[in-house]
Amino acid sequence: MTGIIADTKAIQYHIGLSTQMLCGAKYAFLPGDPDRVNPIAAFLDDARELTQHREYRSALGYVDDIPVLVMSTGIGAPSTGIAIEELARLGVTHFIRLGTTGAIQAHVQLGDLIISEGAVRLEGTSGHYAPIEYPAVPSLALTQKLVEATKLRDYPYQTGIGCSSDSFWPGQERYDSFSGYVPRHLQGSLEEWQRLGVLNFEMESSALFTIARTFGLHAASLCGVIALRTQSEAVQQNVYAQVKERLAIVARDAVRLHHKAHGTPL
């Protein structure tokens, strides 16, 4: 990573970025954790850090000659919504969430990549953009390229529906919280989602899909499994490094494939 770039023109209030700083980037990789930005950007060409403001750390790199922004969104749907809003104003049109997740189906294994075909809207942010009847679905073209890139690398993966919650503990029916209490309307919800074939819990994808769709933009979600809720509540740190690398490689390859198939995004 090279030095930080400064730009004072038309800086977006929350993310601290301007159009000039993005160098025409239409693609954005969106991890949650700011500490994952630089490791992801390291898989791009000529990567350099841009800035950090609040939870939004950013870097810019290239896939061949295609500029790609990597920017953290923090935890949860509200901060993700802000990121999408401000990046869209700067001309970003294609968003790929790169996250970690806990699987709730027995056939999913640690280290698997989950490519979302849709998400349960168990968060409140997307409701500020569209009624609950509006589906949270990703871009078909962008999602197909994630699948294609994953297959080319021979990484284990799953496709299906995820569930995006506004809370890490009660919304995902975890009982290892401070109080150990889950409200009655959420008790039994884990089993219900399992019976409905939902693959995993995370906290951002449904807002990303809904907001991008209502804006006429394109979004996809790629998550790495670091916890098996069918066995334990614990995050398995031993697979974390492997998952981070796979996320970065697949996203990079998917941009290359998408650009080859569809040209420069407008």
Kindly report the average pLDDT of the chain as a whole number.
Answer: 95
pTM (2 d.p.): 0.95
Is pLDDT at 7 greater than 90 in this prediction?
no
Dihedral angle sign, alpha carbons of residues 122, 126, 128, 132: negative
Is pLDDT at 174 greater than 60 in this prediction?
yes
What is the tens place of the pLDDT at every residue in 53-72?
A: 999 999 999 999 999 999 99
**Mean pLDDT computed over 27-42:** 98
**Which sequence positions are flagged as catalytic?**
14, 86, 174, 229
pLDDT of 6: 44
pLDDT of 47: 98
The size of the chain, in residues, is 266
Q: Give the span between the Cα atoms of 176 and 235, in whole angstroms.
A: 13
Strand partners, 94: 27, 218
Q: Give the span between the Cα atoms of 111 and 158, in whole angstroms.
A: 11
DSSP annotation of 3: P
Reported as a pLDDT band with limits 50, 70 and 90, residue 178 is very high
What is the tens place of the pLDDT at every residue in 227-257?
A: 999 998 888 888 999 999 999 999 999 999 9
Is pLDDT at 8 greater than 70 in this prediction?
no
What domains are defined for the chain? Answer: 19-262 (3.40.50.1580)
What is the tens place of the pLDDT at every residue in 118-135?
A: 999 999 999 999 999 999
Alpha-carbon distances, residue 139 vs 21, 35, 166, 198, 211 (angstroms): 26, 27, 23, 19, 12
